[in-house]
Amino acid sequence: MQRIVFTTTPGRIIDEIVHSASPSSVIVLADENTSRLVVPNIDSETVASAPVIIIAAGDEAKTITTASHVWDKLSALGATRHSLLINVGGGMVTDLGGFAASTFKRGIEFINVPTTLLGAVDASVGGKTGVNHGGFKNEVGVFNEARAVVLSTAFFNTLPQIELRSGYAEVLKHALLIGVDEVNRWLDYPIELFPYESNRLLGMIETGVNFKLHIVEQDPHEQGLRRCLNLGHTVGHAFESFALMRGTPVPHGHAVARGLVAELILSHLKCGFDGSWLHRLAKRILALYGNQLFTCDDYPTLLNLMHHDKKSVHGEINCTLLTAPGQFVNDFTVEDSDMCTALDIYRDLME
Amino acid sequence: MQRIVFTTTPGRIIDEIVHSASPSSVIVLADENTSRLVVPNIDSETVASAPVIIIAAGDEAKTITTASHVWDKLSALGATRHSLLINVGGGMVTDLGGFAASTFKRGIEFINVPTTLLGAVDASVGGKTGVNHGGFKNEVGVFNEARAVVLSTAFFNTLPQIELRSGYAEVLKHALLIGVDEVNRWLDYPIELFPYESNRLLGMIETGVNFKLHIVEQDPHEQGLRRCLNLGHTVGHAFESFALMRGTPVPHGHAVARGLVAELILSHLKCGFDGSWLHRLAKRILALYGNQLFTCDDYPTLLNLMHHDKKSVHGEINCTLLTAPGQFVNDFTVEDSDMCTALDIYRDLME
């Protein structure tokens, strides 16, 4: 069972976890940013004495080529089946590092140290690892949990506002799945104000992470219940891939925020989700993330991306929808015509 | 739990298994040889109507680049998380196909249809999947079992003698782990005579596979007991990698056969394994596989390969040794000097 630690002294916790794992060697994986801004500031003997594999930052580097580079470095560093990899970074680093570790010599242990709000709430729980491939998000990967995930707001201090907002979308998604009070709590939180309210934020992250853990424990391989966590993601992934294809990538969370609006519109149309909630959320998301730039000419491309989504069983568009905050319906099959209607309304709402 | 079927009507069994899996689509993976010689002759409606992904044959093609090609084709064929891949081929195809399936969209189901004796007895049981990387054998992969393995001697008819001998080494290894009677049974079997004695061979394969299953069930992640299956492989892998590095690749089973001799010499030196057994086995292996061409100048390279073996925990050379047929000692740490002595004796014995 994966250990999740919320802490204000991440370095000490990492040392403890490594000590109890007693690996044959320890290697740190970080990207160009976190290797410079975060790794030197983790107060950990283990991290300080470990070799660091540095990869390029950003989703464009989340490829099998980068994973290959990590395998090469692990081999060159003499890593064995009993070595341990510490992934220090955002979701890209923890996803790719988790995949590289899970497949190196058929699997070595790894620890995730998320350095972004998005990584803390989303990418580090549930054992999803992977890389993008052939233009599709996370097309190649495995389900495999880290030995431990070390969560600390200490790392968010160097985080640009754009990344903090990206994480906010994922916690908002959790809030929508949890219920009315949690949605209110997040809609009231001033994520645009800096410095953030550290304690309030950590408490909210903990609620979101624990909710996700609760769901994932009941359904580790995404056979049923867990699909609720895909709320906003069928359309969100399509928006993200679409932006990438056009050469104007948007952060994952920004795409998910917009995907949430589109799927709440569908929830309103098909499941009776309350219109005033929809408008309140759409307004907040528009204020934080701006609108999505596409026209009705782009619908066929967007629909095609949705039909290719991993959640699709027989090529249909598959969404999680809400009847109300906290009440979700998984595996709702959405007709192309309904999706187009939702995209029409989305363009009106988000202008 | 993986289903293993011994059958004389593999096509019908494949159709049954696919029917019960009810996948969203079925795709066949084969190499240049099996796509031509085996796939068209499988009497299966499912296989006949499925698209076939064809990859190059041979261990040199067992790379992440080939796996990438398979992922690309799966994406292009519209495969979903609920598609099923049927791997038809030797260990290279089932290892690589198993890895590609286990990582495509974080894992789709697959069926293995081994077409070689080696694949039947070795590569299809135990959930080892993977590809070679950076000059190391199976450096990248995962543990993941097929939904089913369909074993039939029907496929061995088109098998070259060299492949049959390759498989013989692995079954001989199982026999050495099982006990005296099984070793005698295999040493008496005239593997060099063609056509093979089909029923006798199938019975012997079944004993070997069932022994392996019994071991793997007790230790799915190779934490302890299962390491006995590595008998012959620490030195065998080094021989195989060495031959590959010199541009004169040898079949896996041939390298393992020679590795068995070297490790039985070590067993004799360090664990009291009987000398007359050693000589009888060495004589048979020499007759079937010929000698291994290396000199004492190559010892540092061979030792280095053994120190880099996956089974190594802290960089030491780790072997399974025998005190007698059926009596094994796992995780025996071998000193470099003892290995050099064993290699000296090996060169004498195998000349």
Among A63, A70, A103, pick the best mutation site for testing chain B contact (most B Cβ within 10 A): A103
Question: What value does the mean pLDDT take over residues A327-348?
Answer: 95
Say how many residues make up chain A.
351
Chain B nearest-CA distance from A265, in A, is 26
Chain B nearest-CA distance from A276, in A, is 36
pLDDT tens digits along B206-251: 888 889 888 988 887 777 898 899 999 999 999 999 998 999 988 8
- What is the pLDDT at residue B44? 96
Chain A nearest-CA distance from B155, in A, is 29
> Who among B24, B64, B71 is closest to A68 (CB)?
B64
A220 closest CA partner among A142, A168, A289: A142
A266 closest CA partner among A308, A212, A329, A215: A329
Strand-pair category, B317-324 with B327-334: antiparallel
- The answer to whether B21 faces chain A, any CB pair under 8 Å, is no
Chain A nearest-CA distance from B1, in A, is 16
How far apart CA B235 and CA B238 sit, in angstroms, is: 5
How far apart CA B256 and CA B189 sit, in angstroms, is: 19
- What is the pLDDT at residue B238? 95
pLDDT tens digits along B117-169: 888 887 667 889 999 999 888 999 999 999 999 998 888 777 777 778 888 88
How far apart CA B258 and CA B243 sit, in angstroms, is: 12
Q: Which amino acid is at A146?
A: A
How far apart CA B153 and CA B17 sit, in angstroms, is: 19
- Contacts with A104 from chain B: Cβ below 8 Å: 139-140
The DSSP bridge partners found for residue A29 are A53, A87
> Who among B80, B105, B143 is closest to A107 (CB)?
B143
Give CA angle at A218 (A215, A220), nearest 5°: 90
- Contacts with B99 from chain A: Cβ below 8 Å: 103
Three-class HEC string of B50-102: CCEEEECCCHHHCCHHHHHHHHHHHHHCCCCCCCEEEEEECHHHHHHHHHHHH
B29 closest CA partner among B3, B72, B2, B16: B72
**Prior bond to B195 cis, omega within 30?**
yes
> Using the beta-carbon criterion (under 8 Å), do B106 and A314 form an inter-chain contact?
no
pLDDT > 70 in chain B, percent: 99
- The answer to whether B130 faces chain A, any CB pair under 8 Å, is yes
Give CA angle at B278 (B277, B281), nearest 5°: 85
A124: confidence class by pLDDT, cuts 50, 70, 90 = low
Q: Which two tokens stand for residue B292?
A: 């291994």
- The answer to whether B64 faces chain A, any CB pair under 8 Å, is yes
Among A140, A223, A230, A317, pick the best mutation site for testing chain B contact (most B Cβ within 10 A): A140
Question: Which of A29-38, B22-31, B111-120 has the weakest average pLDDT?
Answer: B111-120
Residue indicated by tokens 């496929």: B155
In this structure, what DSSP letter does residue B120 have?
Answer: I
Asked if B167 contacts B196 with a C-beta cutoff of 8 angstroms, the reply is no
> Using the beta-carbon criterion (under 8 Å), do B80 and A104 form an inter-chain contact?
no
- The answer to whether A81 faces chain B, any CB pair under 8 Å, is yes
How far apart CA B30 and CA B56 sit, in angstroms, is: 9
B111 closest CA partner among B99, B120, B125, B98: B98
* Main-chain dihedrals φ then ψ at residue B52, nearest 5 degrees: -115, 125
Q: Which amino acid is at A54?
A: I
Cα A289 → chain centroid: 17
> Using the beta-carbon criterion (under 8 Å), do A312 and B80 form an inter-chain contact?
yes
- Contacts with B68 from chain A: Cβ below 8 Å: 64, 133
> Using the beta-carbon criterion (under 8 Å), do A104 and B310 form an inter-chain contact?
no
- Contacts with A108 from chain B: Cβ below 8 Å: none
- Contacts with B139 from chain A: Cβ below 8 Å: 71, 75, 104-105
Chain A nearest-CA distance from B314, in A, is 6
**Prior bond to A195 cis, omega within 30?**
yes
Asked if A282 contacts A258 with a C-beta cutoff of 8 angstroms, the reply is no
The answer for A 304-333 residues in CB contact with B (under 8 A) is: 308, 310-315
Asked if A334 contacts A318 with a C-beta cutoff of 8 angstroms, the reply is yes
Question: Which of A117-121, A255-259, B133-137, B141-145 has the weakest average pLDDT?
Answer: A117-121
pLDDT tens digits along A185-215: 889 888 877 777 777 887 888 888 889 888 9
- The answer to whether B104 faces chain A, any CB pair under 8 Å, is yes
> Who among B82, B140, B315 is closest to A104 (CB)?
B140
Q: Which amino acid is at B7?
A: T
pLDDT at position A129 over 90? yes
pLDDT tens digits along B299-327: 999 999 999 887 777 889 999 999 999 99
What sections of chain B are H helices per DSSP?
10-21, 34-37, 45-49, 64-76, 91-103, 117-118, 161-178, 180-188, 198-218, 233-245, 252-271, 275-289, 299-307, 336-349
User: In whole numbers, what is the pLDDT of chain A averaged over residues?
Assistant: 91
Helix (H) or strand (E) holding A32: none
> Using the beta-carbon criterion (under 8 Å), do B313 and A106 form an inter-chain contact?
no
- What is the pLDDT at residue A302? 96
Helix (H) or strand (E) holding A87: strand A84-89
- What is the pLDDT at residue A207? 87
A83 closest CA partner among B312, B41, B50, B225: B312
> Who among A106, A308, A311 is closest to B141 (CB)?
A106
> Using the beta-carbon criterion (under 8 Å), do A128 and B106 form an inter-chain contact?
yes
* Main-chain dihedrals φ then ψ at residue B125, nearest 5 degrees: -120, 135
- Contacts with B80 from chain A: Cβ below 8 Å: 310, 312-315
- Contacts with B224 from chain A: Cβ below 8 Å: none
Q: Environment class of residue A150 by beta-carbon count within 10 Å: exposed (0-12), middle (13-18) or buried (19+)?
A: buried
Distances (CA, A) of B222 to A78, A320, B138, B185, B204: 20, 39, 15, 28, 24
Helix (H) or strand (E) holding A257: helix A252-271
pLDDT tens digits along B11-52: 999 999 999 999 999 999 999 999 999 999 999 999 999 999
B107: confidence class by pLDDT, cuts 50, 70, 90 = very high
B262 closest CA partner among B178, B199, B197, B349: B349
Nearest CA in chain A to B104: A140
Q: Which amino acid is at A166?
A: S
Reduced to 3 states, what is the DSSP secondary structure of residue B320? Answer: strand
Greater pLDDT, A99 or B250: A99
- Contacts with A103 from chain B: Cβ below 8 Å: 99, 103, 130, 140-142
User: In whole numbers, what is the pLDDT of chain B averaged over residues?
Assistant: 91
> Using the beta-carbon criterion (under 8 Å), do A140 and B102 form an inter-chain contact?
no
Chain A nearest-CA distance from B267, in A, is 25
- What is the pLDDT at residue B257? 94
How far apart CA A130 and CA A75 sit, in angstroms, is: 20
- What is the pLDDT at residue B98? 97
pLDDT tens digits along B261-276: 999 999 999 999 999 9
- What is the pLDDT at residue A309? 84
- What is the pLDDT at residue B124? 64
pLDDT at position A220 over 80? no
Asked if B32 contacts B56 with a C-beta cutoff of 8 angstroms, the reply is yes
First CA to last CA distance, chain B: 46
- Dmax over CA atoms of chain B, in Å, equals 59
Chain A nearest-CA distance from B204, in A, is 29
Number of continuous H segments (helices) and E segments (strands) in chain A:
14, 10
How far apart CA B330 and CA B320 sit, in angstroms, is: 4
B200: confidence class by pLDDT, cuts 50, 70, 90 = confident
- The answer to whether A128 faces chain B, any CB pair under 8 Å, is yes
- Contacts with B107 from chain A: Cβ below 8 Å: 142-143
- The answer to whether B219 faces chain A, any CB pair under 8 Å, is no
Question: What value does the mean pLDDT take over residues A23-33?
Answer: 97
DSSP string, A223-244: SSGGGGGGTTHHHHHHHHHHHH
Distances (CA, A) of B179 to A321, B260, B275, B322: 61, 15, 16, 11
How far apart CA A97 and CA B38 sit, in angstroms, is: 39
Cα A72 → chain centroid: 26
Question: Which of A31-35, B170-174, B193-197, B278-282 has the weakest average pLDDT?
Answer: B193-197
pLDDT at position A22 over 90? yes
A123: confidence class by pLDDT, cuts 50, 70, 90 = low
Question: What value does the mean pLDDT take over residues A72-81?
Answer: 96
- The answer to whether B142 faces chain A, any CB pair under 8 Å, is yes
- The answer to whether B103 faces chain A, any CB pair under 8 Å, is yes
Chain B nearest-CA distance from A312, in A, is 7
Chain A nearest-CA distance from B142, in A, is 4
Q: What is the ipTM of this complex?
A: 0.80
DSSP string, A92-135: HHHHHHHHHHHHBTT--EEEEEE-SHHIIIIITSS-B--EEETT
